[in-house]
Structure 1
Amino acid sequence: MSVSLDYHPPTEPWLDILYQDKDIIVLNKPSGLLTNPGRGPELADSLFSRVKAEYELSQLVHRLDLSTSGVVVMALRRNAERELKRQFAERLVKKRYLAVVAGRPETLSGSIDLPLAVDADRAPKQKVCKLHGKAALTHYRVLQHLSNSAVMELRPVTGRSHQLRLHMLALGHPILGDAFYADDKALAAAPRLLLHAAQLQLQHPYSGKLLDFSANTDFISASGQLNWPTTDFAC
Structure 2
Amino acid sequence: MKARMLADEVEIIYEDDDFIVLNKPAGILTIPDRFASAIPNLYDILKREYGKIFVVHRLDKETSGVICFAKNEEAHADLSEKFEEHDVNKIYYALIMGHLRNKEGRIDLPLSENPKVPGTMRVDYESGKRSITEYKVLEEFENYSLVEVRPLTGRMHQIRVHFKAIGHPLAIDSVYGNKSEIFLSEIKKKYKPKESEPERPLMSRLTLHALKLGFFHFRKKEYIEFEAKLPKDFESLLKQLRKHSLKNIDKIKA
* TM-score, shorter chain, exceeding 0.5: yes
Q: Which bin holds the TM-score, normalised by the shorter protein?
A: 0.7 to 0.9
Is 1:157 the equivalent of 2:170? Answer: no
Letter of the structure 1 residue corresponding to residue 177 of structure 2: A
The residue that corresponds to 1:229 in the other structure is 240
Q: How does 1:1-235 map to 2 (within 5 A)?
A: 12-13=8-9, 15-183=10-178, 186-189=179-182, 190-218=203-231, 219-220=233-234, 227-229=238-240
Letter of the structure 2 residue corresponding to residue 156 of structure 1: P
- The alpha carbon displacement at 1:43 in A equals 4.3
- The alpha carbon displacement at 1:188 in A equals 3.5
Gap regions ≥5 residues in structure 1: 1-10
SS for the counterpart of 1:81 is helix
Gap regions ≥5 residues in structure 2: 1-6, 183-202, 246-254
With over 3 angstroms needed to count, the CA separation of the structure-2 counterparts of 1:121 and 1:34, relative to structure 1, is same
The size of the alignment, in residue pairs, is 217
Letter of the structure 1 residue corresponding to residue 103 of structure 2: L
Is contact 1:110-1:141 (8 Å) kept?
yes
Root mean square deviation, CA, Å: 2.0
Is contact 1:23-1:205 (8 Å) kept?
no
TM-score (norm 1): 0.86
Letter of the structure 2 residue corresponding to residue 146 of structure 1: F
CA-to-aligned-CA distance 1:146-193 (integer Å, 9 cap, x gap): 01101000000000001000111112111021111102xx43334110
The residue that corresponds to 1:4 in the other structure is none
Letter of the structure 1 residue corresponding to residue 153 of structure 2: T
With over 3 angstroms needed to count, the CA separation of the structure-2 counterparts of 1:12 and 1:38, relative to structure 1, is closer
Is contact 1:139-1:155 (8 Å) kept?
yes
SS for the counterpart of 1:27 is strand
TM-score (norm 2): 0.80
Is contact 1:19-1:26 (8 Å) kept?
yes
Larger Rg over CA atoms = 2
SS for the counterpart of 1:50 is helix
Is contact 2:91-2:210 (8 Å) kept?
yes
